Amino acid sequence: MRFRWRARLKGGPLMLAVILILLWTSAADTVKKRRGPKWWRIARISDPSNLISNHIKSNSLSDHYLDPAIHRILRKKQRRLVRENPGVLVAIAKGTRSAVHECKHQFRNRRWNCDPAPFNRSKELFGKIVSRACRETAFLYALTSAAVIHTVTRACTEGTIDSCNCDYRAKGPSGLDWEWGGCSDNIEFGHKFSRLFVDAGENRRDPRFPVNLHNNEVGRLHVKDQMRKECKCHGMSGSCTVKTCWWRLPYFRRVSDALKDRFDGASRVLLKNAGNARAPNDRRRNRRRKNRKKKKKKYYKLLKPYNQDHKPPTKKDLVYLEDSPDFCVRNRKLGIRGTSGRECNKTSIGVDGCDLMCCGREFHTRVVEVQERCSCTFQWCCEVKCKTCKYMKTIHICS
């Protein structure tokens, strides 16, 4: 009896340890699944132009060569797309960087300012906030996806991707005094490519799959729908007897402005029947692949408004599943630095105002010296000379 009792005592802590380890690994597993797309990390790779095309062009290595740094962060299908479209990697890298830039611009005056520091040693480009399916995450998916369609399309026009160039097909009817002509930005190629590449970064088994795919497409549509007509006059001494026009990409700032508006009006959704979003089994996969269009429609239908009085989201609305944290206090797990130390605007009643920015906490006031370029003059030729002016400025900082 005594012996058995002791054995049980010995086994107890062991069991507990096993259970704890199991719990810990399954928790780690869910965290792992909730990472942002790995391809976003291309932004951190210094110069991807050296990583693939040179090797392929010089034929020193096989076509299948891809730098290990890139290989690691791309999924199989994405690697194939990169190999089949030499030059595209540079465009994608530019896209991810302009997404970072635009995100910081759009959110510069908000509690969440798109700056993952001081947690920027994390592998996530935008910090750990993407582990939560909130508005900010929805915005990031749409913005990065929009950035890729934008830079890839631009690169086609510039001739830096081997597999695409300008779109010379005239589109739509011409007007009375103008006609289609010249080099249109190839948005069709950009759309097709970025849909394949960006959506391939998502995991079908992730319950958020339909939400992420929806937000990716929102980003692309905002680029596509803002394409503008650009024209040039011809004729004797600029008389403009003939005008030719082509399609030009919108400025990316305008796209990010529009996405920021969608952020403010984003819809919280529920997944109607998450079971449908599971990976199709092998037998059905081929059939499903053929019906890609049908499938897309189906994912879209999975999103149902959280509040049943609200209208279902449109194709251009951002959607999210969870409310955002308030971003007021430091939270290492979510990579939130809190608003302590942030500058606020004493006279504003908006989100940059001291009340909202400091979350009702105190703020202190400081007078700082600011340096600025001033009294600039143009010197023949061709230089602009400025003085440096110093002045005192009052700033307010959240405690």
Ligand X SMILES: *[C@@H]1O[C@H](CO)[C@@H](O)[C@H](O)[C@H]1NC(C)=O
Residues that bind ligand X (CB under 6 A): 117, 120, 345, 347-348
CB of 126 to ligand X, least distance (A): 12
CB of 361 to ligand X, least distance (A): 19
Q: Which of 11, 350 has the CB closer to ligand X?
A: 350
Q: Which of 324, 348 has the CB closer to ligand X?
A: 348
Beta carbons of 146 and 274 less than 8 angstroms apart: no
Beta carbons of 51 and 82 less than 8 angstroms apart: no
Q: How many Å apart are CA 143 and CA 141, to the nearest integer? A: 6
Radius of gyration of the chain (CA): 26
Largest CA distance in the chain: 111
Q: Find out whether the peptide bond into 68 is cis, omega within 30 degrees of 0.
A: no
Q: 343 burial class (0-12, 13-18, 19+ CB within 10 angstroms)?
A: middle
Q: Which of 174, 348 has the CB closer to ligand X?
A: 348
CB of 391 to ligand X, least distance (A): 14
Q: Which of 165, 348 has the CB closer to ligand X?
A: 348
Strands (E), 197-356: 228-234, 242-248, 267-271, 303-305, 319-320, 343-344
Q: How many Å apart are CA 337 and CA 340, to the nearest integer? A: 8
CB of 330 to ligand X, least distance (A): 16
Q: Which of 60, 347 has the CB closer to ligand X?
A: 347
Q: Which residues contact 28 (CB under 8 A, 6 or more apart)?
A: none
CB neighbours of residue 18 within 10 Å: 11
Q: Which of 87, 127 has the CB closer to ligand X?
A: 127
CB of 112 to ligand X, least distance (A): 16
CB of 274 to ligand X, least distance (A): 36
